[in-house]
């Protein structure tokens, strides 16, 4: 195997592919390099997720394949000068040279790398930025409890022009929904949050307008120009989240997102020693008092708001409020409440994002 490649192209692709290199023994700890025709392919997998990146070259001088330690290889590539890089497979070594820098890396058994083989059906094309932004708005609310496996993923539901994503963990729920510019087909699946996170990190800055999505019975594949991510789907029935969302409210107040986020974030300073990071909201006719305390002191901040409905006191884990608000777009948000013991929802002005949080009972 022998070929040359530009440093900038290599650093970009290896930076994406290395995200799937196994770090805990669950998968292959190597990156597979394949040179054929006018294309160099780099692959990594952790058994759940596989990322494949491709680079076009003028020509491969000598075709072949090699498996190298993924962590070591990615570190070498990241440190190389911004010049043309030469690869040549020698006797049990992969020789890399760039300018005056030379590396000789030990190779691994290529047969130990297991590629994902799936039969995918159909293809959906969705705006890449829309998909990534909706994933960001929901992934943080997924569960980390492996005993609730289905909740460790993001529900993705596509039906014609409607796209919805949902993440929930039993204490909060985040729903993001968009009306697409045209009908794209149908899909309903639960994608592991860890895989969705890799997708966000690997394609988030790509310039492609569309992401192509294919599914099989057990896996899903995302494709962009020169990049492909395949991951296993979670098996099981997702919670009927529509039944969780409150259908009415007795109190609503409207406030600038950044204003109330800043106030709650400051209150968290005094609640961090509390296991529940307790923050209390006291809603009056034209303001919300935000309070928190611990054995070291107390804090109180008044936020002017537009209130419609009854006065109310309610308490939450402040961490949940901060994370939900941070995921929302700038501008006005609506807080919708029923009582001090019922779930509260926060919605954006266009209601394309709905965030639900369970309150904490006050003593």
What is the tens place of the pLDDT at every residue in 5-35?
999 999 999 999 999 997 765 567 899 999 9
- Residue 191 CA to residue 345 CA, distance in Å, equals 24
pLDDT at residue 250 in the model: 96
> Matching CATH topology for 2-112 and 245-357?
yes
Is residue 313's pLDDT more than 60? yes
| CATH H superfamily, domain 121-241 | DNA Polymerase III, subunit A, domain 2 (3.10.150.10)
**pLDDT bucket at 217, cuts 50 / 70 / 90:** confident
- Per residue in 81-91, pLDDT tens? 999 999 999 98
Q: How far apart are the first and last CA of the chain?
A: 70
Confirm if 312 and 251 have CB atoms less than 8 A apart.
yes
Sheet holding 39-45, edge to edge: 2-6, 84-89, 93-98, 101-108, 64-69, 30-36, 39-45, 49-56, 227-232, 219-224, 210-215, 121-127
- Residue 353 CA to residue 363 CA, distance in Å, equals 32
Q: What is the mean pLDDT of the chain?
A: 93
Confirm if 264 and 277 have CB atoms less than 8 A apart.
no
pLDDT at residue 47 in the model: 83
What fold, for 2-112?
A: DNA Polymerase III; Chain A, domain 2 (3.10.150)
Which of 159, 199, 274, 146 lies closest to 16, judged by CA?
Answer: 199
Q: If you average pLDDT over residues 146-164, what whole number do you get?
A: 96
Please state, for a pLDDT cut of 90, what percent of the chain lies above it: 83
- Domain 245-357 grouped into CATH 3.20.20.70: no
pLDDT at residue 277 in the model: 86
Q: Show me where the domains of the chain are located.
A: 2-112, 121-241, 245-357
Is residue 205's pLDDT more than 80? no
Stated pTM of the model: 0.92
Is residue 115's pLDDT more than 90? no
């Amino acid at each position: 195997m022998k070929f040359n490649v530009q440093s900038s192209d290599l650093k970009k692709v290896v930076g994406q592919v290395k995200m799937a290199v196994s770090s805990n023994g669950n998968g292959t700890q190597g990156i597979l390099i394949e040179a054929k025709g006018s294309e160099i392919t780099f692959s990594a997998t952790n058994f759940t997720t596989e990322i494949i990146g491709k680079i076009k070259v003028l020509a491969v001088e000598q075709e072949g394949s090699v498996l190298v330690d993924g962590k070591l290889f990615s570190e070498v590539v990241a440190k190389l000068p911004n010049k043309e890089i030469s690869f040549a497979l020698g006797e049990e070594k992969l020789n890399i040279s760039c300018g005056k820098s030379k590396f000789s890396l030990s190779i691994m058994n290529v047969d130990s790398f297991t590629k994902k083989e799936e039969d995918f059906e159909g293809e959906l094309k969705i705006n890449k930025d829309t998909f990534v932004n909706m994933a960001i708005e929901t992934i943080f609310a997924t569960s980390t409890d492996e005993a609730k496996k289905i909740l460790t993923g993001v529900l993705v539901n596509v039906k014609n022009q409607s796209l919805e994503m949902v993440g929930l963990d039993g204490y909060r729920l985040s729903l993001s929904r968009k009306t697409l510019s045209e009908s794209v087909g149908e899909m309903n699946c639960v994608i592991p949050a860890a895989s969705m996170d890799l997708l966000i990190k690997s394609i988030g800055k790509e310039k492609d307008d569309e992401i192509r999505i294919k599914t099989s019975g057990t896996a899903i594949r995302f494709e962009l120009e020169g990049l492909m991510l395949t991951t296993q789907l979670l098996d099981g029935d997702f919670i009927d989240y529509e039944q969780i969302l409150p259908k009415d409210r007795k109190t609503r107040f409207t406030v600038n997102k950044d204003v109330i986020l800043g106030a709650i974030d400051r209150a968290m300073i005094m609640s961090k020693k509390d296991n529940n990071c307790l923050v209390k909201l006291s809603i009056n006719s034209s303001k919300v008092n935000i309070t928190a305390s611990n054995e070291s002191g107390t804090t109180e901040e008044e936020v002017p708001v537009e209130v419609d409905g009854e006065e109310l006191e309610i308490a939450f884990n402040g961490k949940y409020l901060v994370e939900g608000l941070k995921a929302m777009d700038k501008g006005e948000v609506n807080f919708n409440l029923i009582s001090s013991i019922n779930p509260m929802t926060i919605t954006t002005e266009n209601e394309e994002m709905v965030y639900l949080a369970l309150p904490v009972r006050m003593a």
